Amino acid sequence: MMEPGLPICNICGDTVGLGANGEPFVACHECSFPICQSCLFEELGEGRAVCLRCGSPYQTGLENPKTDDVEVSKSESGSTLASHFQSQPDIGLHARNPSNYSATENDENAESGNPVWKNRVESWKDKKSKKKKTRAKVEKEAQVPPEQQMEEKQPAQLAQPLSKIIPIPPNKLTPYRTVIIMRLIILGLFFHYRITNPVDSAFGLWLTSVICEIWFAVSWVLDQFPKWYPINRETYLDSLSSRYERENGESDLAAIDFFVSTVDPLKEPPLITGNTVLSILAVDYPVEKVSCYVSDDGAAMLTFESLAETAEFARKWVPFCKKYLIEPRAPEFYFSQKVDYLKDKVQPSFVKERRQIKRDYEEYKVRINALVAKAQKTPDEGWVMQDGTPWPGNITRDHPGMIQVFLGHNGALDVDGNELPRLVYVSREKRPGYQHHKKAGAMNALIRVSAVLTNAPYILNLDCDHYINNSQAPREAMCFMMDPEVGRDVCYIQFPQRFDGIDRSDRYANRNVVFFDVNMRGLDGIQGPVYVGTGCVFFRQALYGYSPSSLPMPQKKSSSSFSCCWGSKKKPAKEPSEIYKDSKQNDLNAAIFNLREIDNYDENDRSLLISQMSLEKTFGLSTVFIESTLMEGGGVPESANPSMLIKEAIHVISCGYEEKTTWGKEIGWIYGSVTEDILTGFKMHCRGWRSIYCMPLRPAFKGSAPINLSDRLHQVLRWALGSVEIFLSRHCPLWYGFGGGRLKKLQRLAYINTIVYPFTSLPLIAYCCLPAICLLTGKFIIPTLSNIASVWFLGLFMSIILTSVLELRWSGVSIEDLWRNEQFWVIGGVSAHLFAVFQGFLKMLAGVDTNFTVTAKAADDTDFGELYIFKWTTLLIPPTTLLVINMVGVVAGFSDALNGGYEAWGPLFGKVFFSFWVILHLYPFLKGLMGRQNRTPTIVVLWSLLLASIFSLVWVKVDPFVSSSTTPTVEKGCNPVDC
């Protein structure tokens, strides 16, 4: 029974008790940190002789019954990291106000045998819960006979796996691999024939075609061989629940911080963002383990006010979802389902509550739409908040950092009186003269804010238009992350992207089914799928630049043999211990170290690791954030002051915080490309991490995609431009990451393919022009076919078809999806990819930075109304030109055949075949130009006529591919008619 009036021990929760003088026991006379005698003796017994709060040595004068030989002296005790910062006035105002719960030791503690910072930081956090569990376990075991205890421990030892790899059946995979090898052999024989049989009469056309075909073959190899080991995975949610959740409601599942990013609320509607946030707050996961952070990188008061309305509606929506287990838990998409909503619902109150919540949602939509209408015109004096103060973000490029906690504090309960997940609004500081790095910079700001406020060990990031379609998606990810065998070296779990609002035929391949269901499953069998920017669960420590714990230390290569040429003696081989030390030192210099092998460092390395300068250069000037990075299990101190944490969170999102640090270079989302997702995942794989592809039966996340032609091409342009930027940067997979040997060869091929595919646009445009040129000139790129040549051509086409068929067989992708993907590969290649290549080189050579427009997420009220919207853009010019010249070429070819007689129809077949190949691939583009009901815009007609006229006139005038020797000559003195 606790004695009244005595302080509570911050470790075990009991009263501190009385000392020998009858007064309350005090262990630390510097800060009076409350700790009882038993906990103090345990601290001393484990070698921790300094106060957890202030770092001062314990001076109790008591004798430790467990460790009589422990000596506590001023010289042996080390100061904390906070005291390091406090002793240096030059660091700045923020550093002079350090955290009052810092528990990081410096190199002086290494001599005394005390544990290093990891154990120090985690001890005070885990001590209390550990002691409570130990006491409960002892009391329970005291009441249960030993025979029954053995029976209870046995099932725990034989725990069911949380996930399982399901390989592709050999009867599907073996023929697939065999055809790939056969196709590679046929390609070699095909190119041998093509190179050894030039077309002398059209040498320029022949050489161009051979160069293009070689590039296509290399692209095929880069795309095909990373799919050599496709696998499927299966998760066991029941095993996860039985292992980490108990019947009394307590849960040991890891906490997750959800990130939602948005920029412009007029282009990314607040109603869509609100639905994404509501689906997160209602997720099937322990409430205390969920925190949602919304990044408003446009500092718009519309986003702020709509988020306040969303938080209010969440008090009704969340309990309704959890009570009736509805799916999906985004109200807009739940109420728009054309299904029987009474299916599997047996509660008689469901219909009544559903009608009520639907009315509440309609009212919520009215309020949101009213805010949007109000925001259409900005007042001259700027926006003013409800309390009369000006909105801090009136100047979007010059405003302070803003943080608002809507849910998760005291009183944030739903209508049933239950706790709600934490919801936080974040808008980072922006000032003129600073580089803010667009989305990647906003995501890094969210990492630091969440680390200070909640510090969950896992992060799930979503775009504002991607809602949670499967409420158990976080549990699916935890089946991998929390598996002791699987999750040790996993940096992220990537889910496939699925989309709503796309027409049934998927005219422009918006679903990307071939990429998500074929390529990504192939990568899962190597080192893991690439990161695609949304629907991904990260291990926070991997974002901090740490290497996986299971990674073996790389062996140092021997010295070069060039030393013999200069007469120097060969250096003796190093001892294994020295090689191990060198590899550790390299990790230290790069601020990439292994948390679980800290004890393997020697005294000097340990000192370097925890030194103030190293941590500041890596993570920035924030003691609270630095301490959070050292806690692998996550969490924040229980004694932390919320107001102090908010001030610290404001500091870490200041625009100058990342200066002279490794943010965006080695840790966090990596800068240098508009496709920061590919670059970030590539850096993690280079450090030795692997990723996992999770495809639950019910899609985990769903989003909206631009479905009209112009917006789709601009989206593809952005992706291609990012790939070109990576190709021209120091992170190019062609040369980056070879030193450690941690990136697998097939994985490197996959990353090379992701950055070189835009360059395929150059040979693709040339190859699409060749059929029209051949028809207009009467020449062809292939000589007269022999029997052997016909076999190679036929074998090549058959192998292409067989590869596609077998790929469809093991992946389950439909032939229509494969054909749409092939069509848009040509459409995007001759338009968006081409512009991306030129813009990428302009940015590198001339320093011209390309700004891209955020794709509109909203659609018209009519079904697929946006599909027929025509928006003119320069991206449409190259495909339109290709269509015109191929159509002109077909007409010219048939005209020549009619005039040339029977013998001219044979060669015409091959030329017309290639022209029709181009036209068929560009057919969806042609339908996009036509708009709704085949009404072609006037500007398209004008462009077509203009291009066709110019091309025809220039061709008649120049005619460059027709030799002058082919012109019929007239003998002197001869009548042309008689001749």
Helix or strand holding residue 407 (H, E)? strand 402-407
C-alpha angle with apex 558: 553 to 560, nearest 5 degrees? 140
Choose, from 296, 297, 465, 711, the residue flagged as catalytic.
297
* CB burial of residue 935 (10 Å; 0-12, 13-18, 19+): exposed
Contacts of 262 (CB under 8 A, 6+ apart): 268, 273, 294, 295, 296, 297, 298, 303, 464
Tell me if 213 is assigned to a ligand binding site. Answer: no
Tell me if 267 is assigned to a ligand binding site. Answer: yes
C-alpha angle with apex 170: 164 to 171, nearest 5 degrees? 130
Tell me if 140 is assigned to a ligand binding site. Answer: no
Q: How far apart, in whole angstroms, are the C-alpha atoms of residue 537 and residue 235?
A: 15
**Cβ 449 vs Cβ 648: under 8 Å:** no
**Cβ 476 vs Cβ 700: under 8 Å:** yes
Tell me if 297 is assigned to a ligand binding site. Answer: yes
What is the DSSP secondary structure assignment for residue 391, as one 8-state letter? P
Half-sphere exposure of 406 (CA within 13 A, CB side): 27
Sheet with 467-468: strands ordered across:
467-468, 701-704, 498-500
**Cβ 459 vs Cβ 234: under 8 Å:** no
Query: From the CA atom positions of the chain, what is the Rg in Å?
Result: 34
What is the DSSP secondary structure assignment for residue 431, as one 8-state letter? -
Q: How far apart, in whole angstroms, are the C-alpha atoms of residue 370 and residue 363?
A: 11
Ramachandran sector of residue 17 (left: φ over 0; alpha: ψ -120 to 50; beta: rest): left
Kindly list the distances between the CA atom of residue 688 and the CA atoms of 338, 524, 552, 598, 738, in Å, as whole numbers in the listed order: 46, 15, 9, 18, 12
Helix (H, G, I), strand (E, B) or coil at 94: coil
Query: DSSP per residue over 440-488, as a string?
Result: HHHHHHHHHHHHHHT--SEEEEEETT-EESSTTHHHHHHHHHT-TTTGG
Kindly list the distances between the CA atom of residue 467 and the CA atoms of 48, 95, 275, 328, 729, in Å, as whole numbers in the listed order: 47, 39, 7, 9, 33
Helix (H, G, I), strand (E, B) or coil at 949: helix
Catalytic, 68? Answer no
Helix (H, G, I), strand (E, B) or coil at 199: coil
Tell me if 338 is assigned to a ligand binding site. Answer: no
Structure tokens given for 667: 């840790």
Alpha carbon 228 to its chain centroid, in Å, reads 23
Peptide bond preceding 328 in cis form (omega within 30 of 0): yes
Look at residues 744, 726, 755 and name the one whose alpha carbon lies nearest to residue 690.
Answer: 744
- The pairs formed by 122-126 with CB atoms below 8 angstroms and a separation of 24 or more are 122/631, 122/632, 122/633, 123/46, 123/48, 123/52, 124/10, 124/11, 124/52, 124/637, 125/631, 125/633, 125/635, 125/637, 125/638, 126/633
Tell me if 284 is assigned to a ligand binding site. Answer: no
Look at residues 721, 722, 806, 819 and name the one whose alpha carbon lies nearest to residue 224.
Answer: 806
Residue with tokens 């990810």: 477
Tell me if 268 is assigned to a ligand binding site. Answer: yes
Catalytic, 297? Answer yes
**Cβ 730 vs Cβ 736: under 8 Å:** yes
Helix or strand holding residue 702 (H, E)? strand 701-704
SS3 per-residue string spanning 165-196 = EEECCHHHHHHHHHHHHHHHHHHHHHHHHHHH
Sheet with 402-407: strands ordered across:
402-407, 422-427, 290-296, 256-262, 458-463, 536-539, 490-494, 690-693
Kindly list the distances between the CA atom of residue 753 and the CA atoms of 209, 451, 806, in Å, as whole numbers in the listed order: 22, 35, 22
* CB burial of residue 177 (10 Å; 0-12, 13-18, 19+): middle
Q: How far apart, in whole angstroms, are the C-alpha atoms of residue 912 and residue 775?
A: 8
Choose, from 465, 489, 506, 677, the residue flagged as catalytic.
677
Structure tokens given for 551: 């990674």
Binding annotation: 261, 267-268, 297, 438-439, 463
Binding annotation for Mn(2+): 439, 463
Residue numbers annotated as active site: 297, 677
Binding annotation for UDP-alpha-D-glucose: 261, 267-268, 297, 438
